Structure 1
């Protein structure tokens, strides 16, 4: 019996092989988990969400953002020095222009944070499209930079959609107008571009109309008419005279100062209408520059006559 007891007591109970393997795997897994956890890797975090679909870019998005960025830079560095009324009006023109361009982008689904560092606040941080300024510009530096701004975008504008080309050409005309109000020379270049004949067709009738306005006016109105006429004659000398006809018809009879005043207002407001047709379907940078500077010349002549320049001459106010 004692022998049986020793026999039974001497037996060693080994777990089945499969059980041993499971214990080893569990133990090894725990050790591996401890090692990974010790390295700072969390095993219980949720999987990251799938990437969002790529946003479809708006037509000519980068081009318009570039123009907005340049305007932002100048508006942040706007001087508060001499000629406050002219500075105020020029700033108002460019602020309206900028707001409309930003509205065009946001209406196309472009997030405001992608348009500028702070699209709603031109006083915010510098934009990547221009050289940040260290402080307010002088009036002379401002008009110089305004006069140079459109040239940085003209080549890209030639390949833009027709709608964008018309919008930006009007905008460039406004920028040149603001520079001209501050004293910059923004007259069309002496070298002719392909659109000169079409611009001449619009210029010579203006000259003729203001010859009539001056002849039928008196006093202060006549003085203003003569100043405006001189500006328009200077534009005609640069653009060229339209000699297709010997004369141009007036929209209504002009026989006194009242009808003369009405004629001056009418022809200047109509002059820049339908400008999108002038550059044609494949414009050159020189053509767009010519059109924009012609617009500025007409707006500056209108300012001499007493009509305030507008942000988008020749266009119905674009949707914001």
Structure 2
């Protein structure tokens, strides 16, 4: 056969594609890709990561974290000498304060790492002397009073009770932490709470004997000193006891009852817009009542006058 036999073989050989045609095919593919994506069809390309969700800050978060970090610094530097009983008790109370405040934050969604991480500029902690510790304890609440005054009502009451415990711990170690001689706006309310305590312990002392009488007289002396600082309530003759007191047993019950009730509802004393002076006054008054309770033999608590806060 003399004709063209390429069409009759098993394979058909096509002429080579020129460079120009190859560029045309590539360019045409790019045009097709652009047309496809322009029609809204996805091309399998890496997608950007989703945005990190922003955490909503807890109420008064920065303030409470500041208190926790100050407590951390004190606990890391705690001395081991002199007055071991007072040191042990104070350390236990401050540890309880820290535990509850951290629990408040974590319950509100604050990550633990954000609570406990200290600034990089903080020097390595060294052990404090007892004198340094009591000064630091007495100064710590004052550093946070301004922020506490503008905090939510719940935080104000919680921290004021905590500050009372801190002031009481400072005073157990020898610092001066009594209410200031200058009157704050809440002095009348503090007087209303103090004078009935004095009257109640006059009754307790009269109905007690031996060790209980000595305890009652010691507590009465403390309460009279507090009354001299905050003033005597005008309704000095109008108080009534919560139940009859006719013997030593009911006298013990009365002493326990009035001291435990005294610091309850301190939020009512502070009011809706307290000043820093009012907060300081109430916290120091709470400390003074706690110390009167020490003399009477009551075990101190971290948050006096409050139900145990959730951890």
State the Cα distance separating 1:246 from its structure 2 match. Answer: 1.7
Indicate the larger mover: 226-235 or 214-223: 214-223
- Which residue does the alignment assign to 2:103? 103
- Could you list the per-position Cα deviations for residues 104-130 of structure 1 after superposition, in whole angstroms to 9, with x for gaps in the alignment? 00000111011113xxxxxxxxx2399
1:293 aligns with 2:296: no
- Could you list the per-position Cα deviations for residues 250-301 of structure 1 after superposition, in whole angstroms to 9, with x for gaps in the alignment? 1112222222111111110111111111010000000011111000000000
Verify the 8 A CA contact 1:86 1:182 in the aligned structure 2: yes
Verify the 8 A CA contact 2:148 2:159 in the aligned structure 1: yes
State the Cα distance separating 1:14 from its structure 2 match. Answer: 9.3
The number of aligned residues is: 281
The change in CA–CA distance for 1:296 and 1:244 in structure 2 (over 3 A counts) is: same
Matches within 5 A, 1:182-197: 182-197=173-188
C-alpha distance in structure 1 between counterparts of 2:49 and 2:223, whole Å: 64
The change in CA–CA distance for 1:130 and 1:210 in structure 2 (over 3 A counts) is: farther
- Which residue does the alignment assign to 2:215? 224
C-alpha distance in structure 1 between counterparts of 2:289 and 2:273, whole Å: 24
C-alpha distance in structure 2 between counterparts of 1:275 and 1:300, whole Å: 17
Secondary structure of residue in 1 paired with 2:305? coil
User: Aligned-pair RMSD on alpha carbons?
Assistant: 2.2
The change in CA–CA distance for 1:138 and 1:196 in structure 2 (over 3 A counts) is: same
C-alpha distance in structure 1 between counterparts of 2:192 and 2:300, whole Å: 22
TM-score by length of 1: 0.83
Segments of 5+ residues of structure 1 without an aligned counterpart are: 1-12, 25-44, 118-126
State the Cα distance separating 1:245 from its structure 2 match. Answer: 4.2
Verify the 8 A CA contact 1:273 1:313 in the aligned structure 2: yes
The change in CA–CA distance for 1:14 and 1:300 in structure 2 (over 3 A counts) is: closer
State the Cα distance separating 1:146 from its structure 2 match. Answer: 0.5
Match of 1:135 among 126, 130, 140: 126
- Which residue does the alignment assign to 2:40? none
State the Cα distance separating 1:85 from its structure 2 match. Answer: 1.5
- Could you list the per-position Cα deviations for residues 70-108 of structure 1 after superposition, in whole angstroms to 9, with x for gaps in the alignment? 000000111111111111111110111110000000000
State the Cα distance separating 1:132 from its structure 2 match. Answer: 4.0
Indicate the larger mover: 47-56 or 83-92: 47-56
Secondary structure of residue in 1 paired with 2:198? helix
C-alpha distance in structure 2 between counterparts of 1:166 and 1:241, whole Å: 24
Matches within 5 A, 1:21-36: none
- Which residue does the alignment assign to 1:284? 275
Secondary structure of residue in 1 paired with 2:303? coil
Verify the 8 A CA contact 1:77 1:133 in the aligned structure 2: no
Verify the 8 A CA contact 1:170 1:292 in the aligned structure 2: yes
Secondary structure of residue in 2 paired with 1:82? coil
Verify the 8 A CA contact 1:77 1:135 in the aligned structure 2: yes
C-alpha distance in structure 2 between counterparts of 1:132 and 1:316, whole Å: 37
State the Cα distance separating 1:51 from its structure 2 match. Answer: 2.7
Verify the 8 A CA contact 2:73 2:125 in the aligned structure 1: no
State the Cα distance separating 1:19 from its structure 2 match. Answer: 3.0
Segments of 5+ residues of structure 2 without an aligned counterpart are: 1-15, 28-44
Secondary structure of residue in 2 paired with 1:153? helix
Verify the 8 A CA contact 1:73 1:132 in the aligned structure 2: no
Indicate the larger mover: 256-265 or 96-105: 256-265
Secondary structure of residue in 2 paired with 1:149? helix
- Which residue does the alignment assign to 1:15? 18
- Which residue does the alignment assign to 2:38? none
Matches within 5 A, 1:168-317: 168-317=159-308
Secondary structure of residue in 1 paired with 2:270? coil
- Could you list the per-position Cα deviations for residues 169-209 of structure 1 after superposition, in whole angstroms to 9, with x for gaps in the alignment? 11111111111221211101111100000000000000111
- Which residue does the alignment assign to 1:30? none
